[in-house]
Copies of this chain bind each other. A is one copy, B any other.
């Protein structure tokens, strides 16, 4: 725990004593300062509210997330509500534990809708979506937020998953036939090339010769959830350290696609930041 988070912890304790609600406290502080009869108590700020968004303003100076402390809960959280829940709940709970309000006022189960690419639909990877929601929660600068979200999706598309090796296997993990140990996990990795759950899961399962609804798929996605949650924590730390963030460039193949298909074209304009060749594999050669 950082010095800053300890200070914030003290504020949270004051709030928990129940001495009036946030609005009341704010009014009291403001009123006292306005009247000039009582010196303003700068050591007792109002408790941050969920509506005081984004939440970067509520982080103590020098605050950083503990990446390792996020990953193991993300892995276990997967088995308690899916990939989006794993990433979202691990990050939000860590922020609640180390920062307090307003993170501790958020519903920890909010991410359960996002599993399997939102309700099992195969859309955006739920772990990525959970991370997207938390980045959005924290980062105040629009340009940096946009760059971080772009970078998270590009990083996911180009990273060989799974990487994470749990400290302890989840008690509900069962029917795993592949070897996910530290010594062997590199041999199980596949680069998804797409940020969509459907493509990411289907291609991994096909490469490994396992079902998309079995224990190996769960073992893969639970570890991937820890990988994504850890990446999000690392990205937020990088942003907090510098106050800026720059996304990696689009790959060379997709960049060449945009030469003929810019958004400004009136013929076949393309609106996207993702790589092109994963879905449009028929356009990679002999095109146009």
Contacts and interface: CB of A to CB of B under 8 A. Distances in A.
Interface in A250-288: 263-274, 279, 282
B272 A202 contact: yes
B267 A206 contact: yes
B24 A271 contact: no
Contacts of A21: 18, 20-24
B269 A202 contact: yes
Contact of A122 (B265, B268, B273): B273
Contact of A153 (B118, B132, B146): B118
Contact of A211 (B27, B135, B195, B265): B265
A136 B150 contact: no
A117 B149 CA distance: 11
A136 B113 contact: yes
Given A198-B272, A202-B268, A270-B198, A146 B123 contact: no
SS of A interface (majority): loop
A213 B24 CA distance: 47
Contact of A18 (B24, B106, B135): B24
A280 B48 CA distance: 48
A123 B124 CA distance: 7
Nearest to A125: B123
A116 B113 CA distance: 21
Contacts of A264: 211-214
Nearest to A279: B279
Interface in A104-131: 105-110, 112-113, 116-124
A271 B153 CA distance: 19
A193 to B, nearest CB: 13
Nearest to A81: B142
Contacts of A205: 269, 271
Given A27-B18, A50-B107, A119-B145, A266 B209 contact: yes
Contacts of A273: 119-122
Interface string A8-29: 0000000010111111100100
Interface string A41-55: 000000001111110
A163 interface: no
A271 B124 contact: no
B132 A269 contact: no
Interface of A: 16, 18-24, 27, 49-54, 105-110, 112-113, 116-124, 132, 135-136, 142, 145-146, 149-150, 153, 195-198, 201-202, 205-206, 209-214, 217, 263-274, 279, 282
